[in-house]
Amino acid sequence: MINPNASVLLPQRRWMPEHYVALIQQILHQHSHVLIAITGAPQERAEAEAMVQHVAHERCLNLAGALHLVELPVLYSLAQCMITNDSGPAHFASITEMPTFVFFGPETPALYRPLGHTTPIYAGLACSPCVAATNHRTTPCRNNVCLQVITPTQVYELVRPMLQRSRSHT
């Protein structure tokens, strides 16, 4: 499961869509048993659909805006894992057993990491975190290098063992 949303309140928390596309393509190419569902809010449906179109694979589906908030934990309980930006769905997932891989950059996983089975994906650059309670959760940063430096291959290597284990359970 992929959740590229990060809300409009702090768009700097978003890993780049082209990185998500490359990661999804790599996962689908390497793991024939995997189905990818992209989730998000109704207003993110077009962006999710653009990602699905770029992936161009029948095992990549757009579920953005198709589910009600109360349905997400049920979907999460069926998924092998989720890769997500630091966002509400990452925290919702913590009520399930689903392993979650969460991108952090402008905020620190030391304070904002979801509880549960979470693996933070964090480059730890000197400029990060730039968002904190002490600056009213704002930042002058408009170029989230802290997330741009995290490559799809690095994320794939983190997730690959989970995908291989899920194959042995199917």
Whether pLDDT at 170 is above 70: no
Query: Which domain, by its residues, includes 80?
Result: 2-165
Residue at 88 is within a domain: yes
Whether pLDDT at 2 is above 90: yes
Residue at 105 is within a domain: yes
> What is the structure's pLDDT at 130?
80
Alpha-carbon distances of 61 from 24, 131, 144, rounded to whole Å: 11, 33, 27
Residue at 11 is within a domain: yes
pLDDT in tens, 83-105: 999 988 998 898 899 999 999 98
Q: What is the pTM of this model?
A: 0.92
pLDDT in tens, 89-146: 998 898 899 999 999 988 888 877 888 899 999 999 988 888 877 777 777 778 899 9
Overall number of domains in the chain = 1
Whether pLDDT at 169 is above 60: no
Report residue 11's pLDDT band, with 50, 70 and 90 as the boundaries: confident
The CATH number for 128's domain is 3.40.50.2000
Residue at 21 is within a domain: yes
CA angle 10, 45, 164 (to 5 degrees): 85
Residue at 170 is within a domain: no
Helix axis angle, 152-168 to 17-30, nearest 10°: 40
> What is the structure's pLDDT at 100?
95
